[in-house]
Structures are given as C-alpha cells and as structure tokens.
C-alpha cells in the first residue's frame, strides 16, 4: 500500500528512482474509504467532544454514512461540479460531508468555524455555493445572508435541532446507503480552498482528486514511513485547512488507519497530551506554535505515556530550540515540512533516514522538483537567495484560482510555479526559508493577507487609513499589527484599540485580528499610492531590537 518501501534507507536515492503512477480516473472518497473492503470493521475515527461525548466509527460505517449523505445531496438537487461548503470543526459530519461531495463529483469548500460573516459571505458568494453543511452556531448567520447568495439553495444543520433548516442525521436516516461513485478523472476538481493574497480578497485554489496522491510521498516520509501496523494519527489542525485535511485526515484514511478527532475549541496543551496518551497516538502533525505551548506542560514525559514515533510540523519555522526540546521531551525528532495550498507537501525531512538540520525545511520529497530561482526563472547557485519555486506537471499542483485566470498565470515563470517564499539552497541540497517575497503574514501556521484585514479596518468609522504587517512574536512567529490613521474627531485610546480589534475579530476571523495597533499620523506610501509595508516592517524590527 505504501509508495515507498521502509527497507529503503537513502533519501536521495529514493528521490532519484521515484516515478509517479497517477491513474486516469481517481476519486478521493474511493481512495480513502470505499476501497478498504478488508478494513471495513477497522476503526477509522475516534471522536471526542469537550463535553465528554465519545464515538467510534469504522471504515464500513463511514462508507455507509457518506453514501447516505451523497444520496441526500443528490435528492436536494446537488450535482456534479456544484460547490458544497462545510463549516464544521473536527467531527464525524465533517469527514462524511467531504466524502459524500467527492462521491457525487461535487466540489467541497471547507471553511473554518473561526470565520466571521464577512469572510464567510465573500467565499460563498465568490464560489457560487449551492449547499452548506454547518452547526447550529452558524445557522443564524447563514440565514441572514441568504438574500445576497442567490445560488445557495440548501443549508443543512448538524446538531440536534437545526431550526428552520434541514437536519443532517434525519436526512441520512431517510436515504439509501447504496451508491455508485461518479467516475471522476484524476484531474477533476475535488476541493476549493481559499488562500490569502497580498492585495484584494482571498483567492480560491481549485484542487484536483490527484492532489491527494501527490501528497503521499511527503506524508509517508515526514511521518517516518507511515503506515505501520499500530499507527494512530492526530492533529490539532482544523480540517477546514490544507494542513488538517490533506496533511492529516485524508492521507491517514488512504492507508486505512484511524485518526483522532477532537472538538474542543482552542488548543489546550494539557488536553493534547491527554489525547495522545489515551488513544496511543503514534503519528501527528503539530504546528510549531502548538509545540511551543506543549513545552509549557510540566513534567510532560513522566505524566503522560507518549509513544509518538513521527511528528511533522509546518506553517512556520520550527527552529533549533524547539527541535531540541521535542527530541528530549517527546523522544522524537520533528520533521519540518514546507508546502502551500496550491502546491502542497513539497519539501521536508525524514529523521529516520536523513540527518535533520534544525532550521532547514529539508529537501524536496520524492516526485517533486523544487529549487531556488531568480527573476529570469533560472535556478540560483548554492548559497544564493531567490524565490522558492516548484516545477509544474506535478500531481499535487492545483488546477488554478477559481474564476481568476490572470492570477493563475501570474504565479508562473515558464515551467516554474512561484511560491512567493524566498529561500536558499545549501551545497547538500537542503532548502532554507528566508522570508516572504510579498506581504503575506505567517502567524501560528495561518497565512494571512493584509489586504482583507485593511479592508475590514476601513469599515470602522474611526479608521481613515490602515496598513497591516506581521510583527515578530516568540510564540506565533508573527502577529498581525495594524498601523492606523484616525479620522477627524477620534483620539487614540486603549478602548478604541479594543473596539477596532473586536470589529475585525467578529467580521473576519479570530486569528486575523490585529493583536497590536499603533496609531500614526500617516501611512508610508509609494509614489503610485501603494502602502510601503516594507518600511513599516523595518520600523517594527528596529523597535523590537531585531535590526540595527
């Protein structure tokens, strides 16, 4: 079942000999569930809720339930190519909804439960969503925005009482579990995930069924040759994002192994240790910010029986100190990984067979070609800084930005997909992250576009001009900081800062609000009227003593 034999012990040799074998037809739901006929009675999902509720689902049950929901969606008029939004946390209905959408050839649109109404409305309107699956907390918001979403026909609530809307579990009970999966090609779209850009609203990255297969070499090696017989996977990453979905849930199920789902709100390091102990978790994707929080747990090695053999971490740099602590406290060497929603799981480490160089992203995983290129599209020499780029024709590469061919074309120089990340390659082929070429903010694993934040800030009557940047932070890597010019009649105050912060938190998302606000007299601009965020970043580095 594995793409790479655990008997192979030379990373570079594995990469040199690897060849993709992508079939003409592929469907994620079939690959991660329906084909596991010999594992029908094996546990697929351990689900635990903060209130103590626990459930276990087998692969056979997940197949039956997703078939039922697929038939329910068909009966509601959802058909091939339609977009189905899923606004749910880590819970069984989330996974079932994804598989059901894939089975009928629809496109799943995962959305974070942290999104506020402005963020949700934009994504639903831009994608032309036909159906939404969500929890009771989000039903009033969706009901309020229905008048401006003419293509939205169906809202399905997953909790016990979905007032005024269809209810998830009754729909399943009424539907048949007999279904023939639509014959989707490997290049057919399966997912639409919105990513942050430097200017304007987020862009929808359209992801094909083949992309899951393209993730697998990196997944296997970053998890130290996944799977093994007793492997159990867990990640605190939200399944609404690439990290939780394509780096966690779906590849784990591809190998017919169980995953732990926990629906408990904000990350709690004590609870994380408890879950890993209770479910005998062997493999995990834990972002650096979460690892830093786990480092604060007292006497972690003696209080919890942790048998983790593989941890992948991504979203921001791990760093030498965090790498050292994890090796000592958890007895596992973190495998740092790097990728993007558009082109995921490209580069990383495999501590079992290669020397990890703390601070390095690692090397390109088998089947992927990644290099540091100049503005002319030519690879740079070792030690020279340039843009990190991936060669097109890769199965993990996205199909393009939803309804935005110009933005898609702008990402390429010849055969190279340009990531916007700046890096350097050393003499031994290890890649090192230097920074962002553009103004995207990386905070606690989230990539945040300043344009959407600035637009939201300007909706507050006190704000006449605004600029958002990433400000260095020990825990999150960066935090969002806003520089604001106040309108006439307003004076700087802590109360006003909080009011402005709350307006962003409720409109967009909790992780996007500016944790710091500085009131200034004017925003630095270029001669063409663009915000000089680079000047603000340099000012911030100097203020924090990181630049002289």
Beta bridge partners of 433: 423
Q: What does the pLDDT look like over 136-146, one tens digit per residue?
A: 999 999 999 99
Q: What is the mean pLDDT of residues 254-259?
A: 98
pLDDT at 460: 93
Q: Is the peptide bond before 227 cis (omega within 30 degrees of 0)?
A: yes
Question: Are residues 315 and 442 in contact, defined by beta-carbon separation less than 8 angstroms?
Answer: yes
pLDDT at 548: 54
In the predicted structure, residue 235 carries a pLDDT above the cut 80: yes
Q: Compare 8 and 433 and report the one with higher pLDDT.
A: 8
Mean pLDDT computed over every residue of the chain: 93
In the predicted structure, residue 528 carries a pLDDT above the cut 70: no
Listed residue (194, 192, 242, 296) closest to 445, CA to CA? 242
pLDDT at 211: 98
Q: Which residues are CB-neighbours of 453 under 8 A, at least 6 positions away?
A: 466, 468, 480, 482, 504, 508, 512, 514
Backbone phi and psi for residue 65, each to the nearest 5 degrees, phi listed first: -65, -40
pLDDT at 201: 82
Among 193-197, 225-229, 283-287, the least confident range: 193-197
pLDDT at 394: 98
Question: Are residues 402 and 396 in contact, defined by beta-carbon separation less than 8 angstroms?
Answer: no
* Ranges assigned E (strand) in 451-545: 463-473, 477-486, 516-519
In the predicted structure, residue 117 carries a pLDDT above the cut 70: yes
Q: Identify the structural domains of the chain with CATH numbers, from first to last.
A: 27-208 (3.40.50.12780), 441-543 (3.30.300.30)
Q: What is the mean pLDDT of residues 43-55?
A: 94
Q: Could you give the maximum distance between any two Cα atoms of the chain, in Å?
A: 71
To the nearest whole percent, how much of the chain has pLDDT over 70? 97
pLDDT at 474: 87
Q: What does the pLDDT look like over 467-478, one tens digit per residue?
A: 899 999 988 889
Q: What does the pLDDT look like over 129-181, one tens digit per residue?
A: 999 999 999 999 999 999 999 999 999 999 876 556 799 999 999 999 999 99
In the predicted structure, residue 465 carries a pLDDT above the cut 60: yes
pLDDT at 448: 85
pLDDT at 530: 60
In the predicted structure, residue 447 carries a pLDDT above the cut 70: yes
In the predicted structure, residue 203 carries a pLDDT above the cut 70: yes
| Calpha distance 28→186 (Å, rounded) | 9
């Amino acid at each position: 079942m594995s793409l790479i034999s655990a008997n192979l012990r030379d990373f570079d040799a594995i990469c040199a000999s690897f060849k993709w074998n992508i079939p003409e037809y592929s469907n994620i739901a079939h690959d991660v569930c329906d084909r596991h006929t010999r594992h029908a009675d094996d546990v697929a999902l351990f689900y635990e809720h903060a209130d103590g509720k626990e459930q276990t689902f087998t692969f056979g049950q997940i197949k039956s339930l997703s078939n039922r929901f697929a038939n329910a969606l068909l009966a509601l008029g959802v058909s091939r190519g339609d977009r189905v939004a899923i606004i749910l946390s880590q819970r069984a209905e989330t996974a079932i909804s994804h598989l059901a959408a894939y089975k009928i050839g629809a496109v799943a649109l995962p959305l974070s439960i942290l999104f506020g109404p402005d963020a949700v409305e934009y994504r639903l309107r831009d994608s032309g969503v036909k159906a939404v699956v969500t929890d009771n907390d989000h039903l009033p918001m969706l009901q309020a925005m229905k008048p401006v979403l003419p293509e939205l026909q169906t809202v399905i609530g997953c909790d016990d009482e979905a007032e005024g809307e269809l209810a998830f579990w009754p729909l399943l009970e009424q539907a048949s579990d007999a279904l023939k999966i639509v014959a989707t090609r490997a290049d057919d779209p399966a997912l639409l995930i919105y990513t942050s850009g430097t200017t304007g609203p987020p862009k929808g990255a359209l992801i094909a069924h083949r992309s899951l297969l393209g993730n697998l070499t990196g997944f296997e090696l970053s998890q130290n040759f996944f799977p093994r017989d007793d492997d159990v996977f867990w990640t605190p990453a939200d399944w609404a994002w690439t990290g939780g979905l394509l780096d966690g849930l779906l590849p784990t199920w591809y190998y017919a192994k169980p995953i732990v789902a926990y629906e408990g709100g904000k990350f709690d390091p004590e609870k994380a240790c408890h879950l890993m102990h209770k479910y005998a978790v062997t493999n995990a994707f834990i972002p650096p910010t979460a690892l830093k929080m786990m480092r604060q747990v007292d006497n972690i090695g003696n209080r919890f029986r942790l048998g983790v053999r593989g941890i992948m971490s991504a979203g921001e740099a791990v760093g030498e100190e965090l790498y050292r602590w994890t090796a000592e406290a958890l007895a596992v060497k973190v495998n740092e990984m790097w990728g993007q929603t558009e082109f995921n799981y490209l580069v990383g480490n495999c501590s079992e067979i290669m020397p990890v160089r703390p601070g390095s992203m690692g090397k390109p995983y088998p089947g992927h070609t990644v290099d540091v290129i100049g503005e002319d599209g030519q690879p740079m020499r070792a030690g020279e800084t340039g843009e990190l780029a991936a060669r097109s024709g890769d199965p993990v590469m996205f199909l393009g930005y939803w309804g935005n061919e110009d933005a898609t074309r702008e990402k390429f120089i010849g055969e190279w997909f340009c990531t916007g990340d700046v890096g350097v390659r050393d003499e031994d082929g290890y890649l090192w992250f230097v920074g962002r070429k553009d103004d995207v903010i990386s905070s606690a694993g989230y990539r945040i576009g300043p344009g959407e934040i600035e637009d939201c800030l300007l909706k507050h009557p006190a704000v006449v001009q605004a600029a958002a940047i990433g400000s260095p932070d020990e825990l999150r890597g960066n935090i969002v900081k806003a520089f604001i010019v106040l309108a006439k009649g307003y004076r700087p105050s802590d109360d006003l800062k909080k009011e402005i912060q709350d307006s962003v938190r409720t409109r967009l998302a909790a992780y996007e609000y500016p944790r710091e606000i500085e009131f200034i007299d004017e925003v630095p601009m270029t001669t063409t009227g663009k915000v000089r965020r680079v000047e603000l970043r340099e000012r911030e580095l100097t203020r924090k003593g990181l630049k002289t």
